[in-house]
């Protein structure tokens, strides 16, 4: 005799769903409550009933959502995966203030094993084991009543549960709609902290965009691109060599040359570099900023799908006859250098500058002189640094370069004192400055053979605990300036200035202007300074154009 749905041993699916909703609304959303607390502390008055209603609101809302995904055979595997992933998201949100929108998902997917290992720590492991793996084990071991062939009781119970949840939400809104509307509208980023809805939504959007979107036809840009007659003539006598250094996670606020009170730029300060004081990044994560800065799309119009299906400035330079090389020490070029010569630092090689999983940035510079000599005509080399990539800041500089002490020699930086984190971060900026000075020294040594120049700009900035936020990757409109303001420095040899008719004093004055420069200038500045003639070039967006004597 077949037993019915209701008299099987174990808990019902609807009860399991409710328990899961309680767990997520109380435990997994601790980062959400942490942020709410800081908001409430800034308000003059908050209704106690409104505060009490928030976890109830989350419970009823999640109960509705979970009811749509809790069905026989899929309930256990679905929630096991969900609870483990959510524990990781919870750790990152609570300790670093990370928000998991689609751009962050893209950044995570494109992070290589070496970068990912930097986020592993004993503290993170304990966190995930405690609130992710342990409940996952409970889910696997618990007995859930199977529906068998009797679906009506299951559907009835689900309908009752969802109806009660909807009515409860309506009652909450009747009493506290104005409070929810006020807090929500003034702090719209809060929804990005709710677990698991936000990251699941972002992940589904990423999958849809990557695998289920209509193919975009590839567009070639600058098909008319060519070097000017003067540039070609000069290349026969004394070619131009321009090294473009792509920084990683360096924020402008910690640069001595920009007014910072610590000696973070002692090496380039003696090299006569020109520092641009107010430069905005295109994004707050490498996966967006790097493709964007080399695209002819602006920050406001940038779409990665479009950018991946059209030429960038490297492609236009190559088409015009410039010899282009990309050297990488940061886990990949994000598709930017797919059509040019590419060299990646071998982290596993017998290199004193590498430890098997990461390398110091001097590994990019050791052979740069040889790289220059092996190229032909006018040359452009892109160096992609690992720079100040966190949270393992201490792994970005050798011990002998740990100038600011004590530093934070661990990956779970949230357990370090703020001053130690800043010391470690400033050490990375200082070491990057050392690397840049070595690039300049190499270019000086080559100045008899070539007209040499260097430009350095970071992809995005970094938060170091301000307002409880660490690392980077917040949605751009919510991100603090620490994540959006980046350093941009230029060094020009006398030969390069003469060959390109650049007035250095004029450029220094332009560099002091506020609110004028961003990653949007990179595409056109590189075309302009290499004398590329093409319809896609816009002189108004070229930082050099107004300081070139005609």
Confidence (pLDDT) at 1:
37
Instruction: With respect to residue 216, please indicate whether it lies within any of the assigned structural domains.
Output: no
pLDDT over threshold 50, residue 3: no
Which has the higher per-residue pLDDT, 76 or 111? 76
Q: Mean of the pLDDT values across residues 91-110?
A: 84
The model's pLDDT over 281-295, given as tens digits with 9 standing for 90+, comes to: 999 999 999 999 999
Q: Are residues 200 and 326 in the same domain?
A: no
Q: Mean of the pLDDT values across residues 373-389?
A: 97
C-alpha span between 490 and 296 (Å, rounded)? 21
The model's pLDDT over 261-281, given as tens digits with 9 standing for 90+, comes to: 999 999 999 999 999 999 999
Q: Are residues 362 and 253 in the same domain?
A: yes
Cβ-in-10-Å burial (0-12, 13-18, 19+) of 192 comes to buried
User: Does a cis peptide bond (omega within 30 degrees of 0) precede residue 391?
Assistant: yes
C-alpha span between 208 and 104 (Å, rounded)? 15
C-alpha span between 136 and 515 (Å, rounded)? 50
Q: How does strand 323-328 pair with strand 341-344? A: parallel
Confidence (pLDDT) at 102:
78
Please name which of 421, 383, 382 lies closest in space to residue 405, comparing C-alpha atoms: 421
Give whole-number Cα distances, 118 to 95, 428, 485, in Å.
15, 15, 24
C-alpha span between 413 and 422 (Å, rounded)? 10
C-alpha span between 286 and 103 (Å, rounded)? 10
C-alpha span between 58 and 374 (Å, rounded)? 62
The pTM of the full predicted model, rounded to 2 decimals, is: 0.81
423 sits in which H/E element: helix 418-445
Instruction: With respect to residue 156, please indicate whether it lies within any of the assigned structural domains.
Output: yes
Give whole-number Cα distances, 417 to 253, 420, 465, 469, in Å.
20, 5, 10, 14
C-alpha span between 243 and 453 (Å, rounded)? 6
Q: What is the DSSP code string of 473-519? A: ---TTTS-HHHHB--EEEEE-HHHHHHHTB-HHHHHHHHT-SS-EEG
Q: Are residues 194 and 304 in the same domain?
A: no
Instruction: With respect to residue 232, please indicate whether it lies within any of the assigned structural domains.
Output: no
How many domains, in total, are found in the chain? 2
470 sits in which H/E element: strand 470-471
139 sits in which H/E element: helix 134-141
Q: Are residues 193 and 279 in the same domain?
A: no
Instruction: With respect to residue 229, please indicate whether it lies within any of the assigned structural domains.
Output: no
Please name which of 504, 486, 484, 485 lies closest in space to residue 494, comparing C-alpha atoms: 504
Residue 84's SS3 state is helix
Instruction: With respect to residue 227, please indicate whether it lies within any of the assigned structural domains.
Output: no
User: Which range marks the domain in which residue 40 is found?
Assistant: 5-211
The model's pLDDT over 489-510, given as tens digits with 9 standing for 90+, comes to: 999 999 999 999 999 999 999 9
Q: Are residues 201 and 245 in the same domain?
A: no
Query: Of the residues 174, 196, 211, which one is the last residue of a structural domain?
Result: 211
Q: Mean of the pLDDT values across residues 165-185?
A: 88
φ, ψ dihedrals at 383, nearest 5°: -110, 120
Q: CATH code at 344?
A: 3.40.720.10
Average pLDDT over the chain, rounded to whole? 91
The model's pLDDT over 147-171, given as tens digits with 9 standing for 90+, comes to: 555 678 888 999 999 999 999 999 9
User: Could you give the percent of the chain with pLDDT greater than 90?
Assistant: 72
Q: Are residues 333 and 442 in the same domain?
A: yes
C-alpha span between 285 and 249 (Å, rounded)? 8
């Amino acid at each position: 005799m077949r037993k019915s749905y209701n008299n099987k041993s174990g808990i019902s699916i609807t009860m399991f769903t409710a328990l899961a909703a309680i767990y997520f609304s109380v435990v997994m959303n601790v980062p959400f409550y942490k942020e709410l607390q800081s908001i409430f502390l800034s308000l003059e008055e908050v209704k106690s009933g409104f505060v009490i209603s928030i976890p109830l609101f989350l419970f009823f809302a999640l109960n509705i959502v979970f009811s749509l995904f809790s069905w026989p055979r899929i309930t256990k595997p679905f929630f096991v995966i969900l609870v483990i992933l959510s524990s990781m998201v919870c750790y990152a949100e609570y300790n670093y203030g990370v928000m998991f929108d689609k751009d962050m998902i893209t950044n995570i997917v494109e992070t290589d094993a070496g970068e990912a290992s930097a986020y592993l720590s004993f503290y993170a492991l304990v966190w995930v084991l405690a609130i992710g793996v342990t409940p996952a084990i409970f889910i696997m071991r618990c007995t859930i009543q199977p529906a068998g062939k009797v679906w009506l009781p299951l559907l009835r119970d689900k309908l009752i549960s969802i109806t009660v949840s909807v009515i409860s939400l309506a009652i909450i809104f009747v009493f506290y709609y104005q409070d929810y509307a006020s807090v929500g509208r003034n702090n719209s980023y809060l929804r990005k902290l709710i677990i698991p809805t936000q990251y699941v939504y972002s992940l589904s959007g990423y999958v849809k965009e990557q695998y289920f979107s209509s193919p975009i036809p590839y567009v070639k840009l600058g098909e008319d691109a060519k070097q000017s007659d003067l540039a070609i003539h000069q290349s026969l006598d004394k070619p131009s060599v321009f090294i473009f250094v792509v920084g990683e996670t360096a924020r402008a606020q910690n640069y001595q040359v920009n007014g910072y009170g610590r000696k973070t730029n002692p090496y380039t300060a003696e090299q006569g570099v020109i520092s641009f004081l107010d430069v905005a990044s295109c994004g707050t994560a490498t996966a967006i900023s790097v493709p964007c800065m080399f695209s002819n799309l602006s920050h406001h119009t940038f779409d990665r799908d479009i950018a991946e299906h059209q030429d960038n400035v490297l492609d236009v330079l190559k088409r015009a006859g410039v010899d282009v090389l990309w050297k990488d020490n940061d886990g990949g070029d994000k598709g930017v250098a797919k059509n040019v010569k590419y060299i990646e630092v071998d982290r596993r090689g017998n290199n004193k500058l590498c430890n098997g999983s990461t390398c110091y940035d001097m590994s990019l510079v050791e052979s740069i002189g040889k790289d220059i000599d092996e190229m032909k005509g006018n040359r452009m080399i892109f160096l992609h640094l690992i720079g100040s990539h966190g949270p393992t800041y201490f792994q970005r500089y050798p011990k002998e370069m740990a100038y600011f002490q004590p530093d934070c020699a661990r990956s779970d930086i949230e357990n370090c004192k703020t001053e130690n984190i800043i010391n470690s971060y400033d050490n990375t900026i200082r070491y990057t400055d050392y690397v840049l000075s070595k690039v300049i020294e190499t270019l000086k040594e080559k100045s008899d053979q070539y007209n040499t120049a260097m430009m350095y700009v970071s992809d995005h900035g970094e938060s170091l605990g301000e307002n409880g936020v660490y690392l980077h990757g917040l949605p751009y409109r919510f991100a603090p300036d620490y994540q959006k303001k980046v350093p941009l420095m230029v060094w020009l040899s006398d030969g390069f200035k003469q060959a390109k008719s650049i007035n250095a004093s004029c450029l220094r004055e332009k560099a002091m202007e506020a609110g004028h420069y961003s990653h949007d200038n990179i595409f056109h500045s590189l075309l302009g300074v290499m004398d590329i003639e093409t319809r896609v070039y816009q002189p108004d967006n070229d930082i050099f154009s107004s300081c070139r004597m005609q």
